[in-house]
Amino acid sequence: MLFRVVAETLSKIEAITSRTAITELLANLFRKTDPEVIDKVVYLIQGKLWPDWRGLPELGVGEKLLIKAIAKATGVRETEVESLYKKLGDLGKVAEALKSRRAGGGGLARFLSGATNALTVNRVYETLKRVALAVGEGSRDLKISLISGLLVDAEPIEARYIVRFVEGRGRIGVGDATIMDALAIAYGGGTAARPVIERAYNIRADLGEVARILVKEGLRALEKLTPEVGVPIRPMLAERLNDPREILAKVGGKGMVEYKYDGERAQIHKKGDEVIIYSRRLENITHQYPDVVEAVRNRIKSKEAIIEGEIVAVDPETREMKPFQELMHRKRKHDIHEAIKEYPVTVFLFDALYNEGEDLTTKPLPERRKTLEMIVEPDETIQLSQYIVTDDPEELEKFFLEAIENGAEGVMVKAIHKDSIYRAGARGWLWIKYKRDYKSEMIDTVDLVVIGAFAGRGRRAGTYGALLMAAYDPDADLFRSVCKVGSGFTDKDLAELPEILKPYIRQSKPRNVDSLMKPDVWVEPALVAEIIGAELTLSPMHTCCRDEVRKGAGISIRFPRFIRWRDDKGPTDATTTKELLEMYKSQLKKISE
């Protein structure tokens, strides 16, 4: 399959904003795609070479190295590449322009530039893979050689996307939801197949692999898919409420009320003596917790299992729970064994998703909990989450206060009826958060995504002074603006902002961003931060839930304040627009009472 077909589709997508039209373009591309490379095409559209959870190197290559590769491939001086880059602001367009200059681009240009072969998807993918994996002595020259080799044979439009991909700017603002819609249309017989594809992706967090199975084996093969040890399951998410009576009504009148621990969510995979720990974002964090790995080997009786829990920092002497921030010390690459002594942890397990060949995600919560209790032998490092089962709002409130007193964030209330399955990757009323922050005026902290930044002034000159934040709208696959936050940052936070934001800065508004407010620079939705404020309010400047409460107004946050970065969350794990609407309505109800 020629790479040109992919590049031309990406170019068309760049030129439009209609999600329906984008979905149809992708569906047409998938229909044309050779089944042998469908997974690679999906990865390229996602802007990656493989699922993030594999822990393999990212492809991002520095500007200087790319400029050298472009100059080498097009036969111009590096200074000319740099000059054109200053003018266009996009190295992809620089490569495209330089390729087009050579005898007007196209076949004659390819002949005169020494091009020998039309680029295939397989060649582009495998070459980029070699670039990503090149390390050690001589790797710099090898990367330049590999990239320039592709660019020599590339047509102008292909050069644009190869360079952007290598630079780490390959994402085109098309979310996984849109890709799944397109796969359903192209190979599932229509949008009715979307839930099957999404379910498969949720239990096998590899959209390229899901596409490969769909195209080569059909929809029935996806329906039969079950969890696999070593391949992470996308975590189930919770809604939030602050009224015990309403919470119990939502879960069916009676529920399991469980401590909500202030730690790092962990999905633990065990196969014999091999143990892998994935974070909420499905990153491999096994190296941070060798003590947990050892405990799992010794205290989980199953040979094969996937279990879920919260890793919590504890006091080395009293074993009392400590705040989430204490776990940051475990991220150090060196001296991890010293960190184990200084910052011990306990894993509080709360779910079992797979055990000895059995898919438990389709079982009700009481069955999953029973299995969990059967396979775990608790000790100091591995324990089961504390819970009660109740239909009494007052008992729920009492347990909530007890949880807070013991160092938890609050409680999770979970449905226990026959339909209380594990809804991987989904947010719903089967799980509901009830946190102490709900007692604040704003009800709760929220996790928002950075979509823009404003230049600092005065003491903040030279860095960014404020960030434009957004909530995620999963129905539209868009990030809608909520507020501009400039307080809560330490001097260190501010000093680090340019470096943190640099990989995600964009010249124009990303297509998956919905904002009326225009920042000094746009930022690709990737970074999540925890935000608190005085209250939720209506604003004509923001697009979150626009027109849903009052015509011409969206939901915003009054006096927002930055608390911390949420590295454990991806952009689509952020607070949703629907959640903010529920919080706003709850706030109004509280005021009226």
Q: Which residues are catalytic?
A: 260
Residues 6+ apart with CB under 8 A from 172: 10, 13, 14, 45, 47, 511
- Whether the Cβ atoms of residue 196 and residue 219 lie closer than 8 Å to each other: yes
Query: Which tokens go with 533?
Result: 């404020």
- Whether the Cβ atoms of residue 372 and residue 384 lie closer than 8 Å to each other: yes
Please give the angle made by the CA atoms of 12, 13 and 17, to the nearest 5 degrees: 120
Torsional class of 528: left (φ above 0), alpha (ψ -120 to 50), beta (otherwise): beta
Query: Which tokens go with 377?
Result: 């032998």
- Whether the Cβ atoms of residue 415 and residue 249 lie closer than 8 Å to each other: no
Residues 6+ apart with CB under 8 A from 115: 109, 152, 153, 154
Distance CA 87, CA 74 (A): 18
- Whether the Cβ atoms of residue 234 and residue 210 lie closer than 8 Å to each other: no
Tell which residue, 558, 569, 506, has the closest CA to residue 172.
506
In DSSP terms, 565 is beta-bridged to 529
Distance CA 139, CA 394 (A): 64
- Whether the Cβ atoms of residue 263 and residue 308 lie closer than 8 Å to each other: no
Tell which residue, 343, 280, 274, has the closest CA to residue 313.
343
